[in-house]
Amino acid sequence: MSRYNYKMRKVKRIRKNCKTCKTEIFTIKSRIRDGRGKFCSQKCVSKWLAKYKKEKAFNWKGGKVLSNGYIMIYKPEHPKASPQGYILEHRLKMEEKMGRYLQNEEVVHHINGDRRDNRIFNLKLHKSNSGHFREEHPDFPRDYRGRFIST
Ligand SMILES: [Zn+2]
Ligand SMILES: [Zn+2]
């Protein structure tokens, strides 16, 4: 026990500020090395992580975000943009190729199955989702009426 106390006395405490709320905290060197000792509480850790994640997602490749595995691009001036101002990149690429806006029922298929691979030669336009599934995903699960179960 005395040995333990001796060790404790030797550890130098370092004054820091919580990264989230700036409250003064005391920590020791080894904790900082472990990536700890930056926050006053678990609450502040979660807060910081949430904020960091949001910023990271927003800034991903400059104005691109992921939604359900699809890349969305920030284009608030597009007529089909979401309320947040985003549009699916593969639809946008197809529109650029076609030189017109896509109809709502038109579907852009990813030839190699990779939803994030929006190179134009990986994209194929279908007039409707049923045609898209019939031609491209015939093994896709169907409901009891034979309709494709969309994911
Ligand atoms: Zn804090
Ligand atoms: Zn498809």
Q: Judge whether 90 lies within some domain.
A: yes
Ligand with smallest separation from the Cα of 43: 1
Neighbours of 81 (CB within 10 A): 17
Collapsed DSSP state (helix, strand, coil) of residue 69: coil
Ligand with smallest separation from the Cα of 44: 1
Output the CA 43–ligand 1 centroid distance in Å.
7
Q: Rg of the chain's alpha carbons, rounded to an integer?
A: 26
Output the CA 107–ligand 2 centroid distance in Å.
8
Total structural domains within the chain: 2
Residue with the bigger pLDDT between 79 and 61: it is 79
Domain that holds residue 17: 13-52
Cα separation, 29 vs 35, whole angstroms: 10
Q: What is the pLDDT of residue 2?
A: 52
Q: Count Cβ neighbours within 10 Å for each residue of 14-41 and write b for 16 or more, e otherwise.
A: eebebbbeeeebeeeeeeeeeeebbbbe
**Would you say residue 130 has pLDDT above 90?**
no
Contacts of 138 (CB under 8 A, 6+ apart): none
pLDDT one-digit tens code per residue, 25-71: 988 888 777 777 888 988 998 888 888 776 666 566 668 888 888 99
Is 0.95 surpassed by the pTM of this model?
Answer: no
Output the CA 132–ligand 1 centroid distance in Å.
52
Ligand with smallest separation from the Cα of 47: 1
Q: Judge whether 42 lies within some domain.
A: yes
**Whether 89 and 32 share a structural domain:** no
**Whether 131 and 69 share a structural domain:** yes
Q: What is the pLDDT of residue 60?
A: 62
| Angular region, 113: left φ>0, alpha ψ -120 to 50, beta rest | left
**Would you say residue 77 has pLDDT above 80?**
yes
